[in-house]
Structure 1
């Protein structure tokens, strides 16, 4: 079977087409979905893409979390569908209470754009199974409201239950507590992170590596992991 992965476009989405392309490169079928719809079109997995949904008014992701299609997203998450939130999509997942904590303005109060080194802390999710635990990867990052926050007790719980999916290495670009770059839910089907894996899936367009400029494709494993999860569940 071919995994059909939906990408939801919100007003202000910037990276929805990039996410669709990443899915296609990974071997899946990308399905464009609209924020105002209640129809997930029978997809097997979902991506909430990056951007500035609804202009980031109120709080980043806060209005998008109340969009009509989010009722279906929440229902799909409860049923175990793989769902990935990238940057603004991560903010939506937090605002919709599908992932814990919050995301606030970067500690230095500046928009940051850089190729960011991460460590894979949990490879037992629908979006990380093609990584090795502890693997170091490089993924582009671009955000203004990427500072992850939570109470100390919540942070301890996340650490203790293995729900930190990715951690910043080398430099903390936005002041996220405990260098948290991404999370998973307890079931492992919902994952959110601030960096942009869809921008590291094709040679010539990704981060620089020792082999060649712009040759990094570490982001591709996010999408191949989800495809494998979907195909495996259907077998």
Structure 2
């Protein structure tokens, strides 16, 4: 079996909390528009806008904020008060300064892997915001390389693991998203390790590739070290 030399990690909701702040802001958004749309309808319209706008704004808080504004305009037929738009903008700005809360076992796991493997952070989203979160997390010292990308595909992982390691066949990707972290990493020839998070954006959902030999699922990062040793 090919020896594992490189380990990639997702950031949001794998190393630190992220979706939690989106849900809180969406709850506030629902309250602001409560006089114009039912919560379920508003959530569906917002999700449609987010998906539609990914090609234009990418992933992250700024795109989410613009999608909220667009949705507010749509559901009110253009009659949304300027004050409401201002409060949506402020909510998005507050998200860009939310505190970083690392998830359990993150620090100890990264510390144990450092030196024995090449560690690569591969995250998508807004460049400035991802850099801010990494700096505030205090985890940057553990990584040999950081890749902040616009999207994650098999080509993304093939390039990253070739540039910073010995190729995808000797690498694994660890993350909470089946769609973005696990499946494309496996398609690139690497291992895909799913670490479910209790809150995962609906867009990131996908069926588990259970019949794929390079797929594993762990409950949390405390189970990663034994798995790495076994492989």
What's the TM-score once normalised by structure 2's chain length? 0.32
Name the larger-Rg structure: 2
Higher strand proportion: 1
Higher helix proportion: 2
Report which structure shows greater RCO (CA 8 Å, sep ≥6): 2
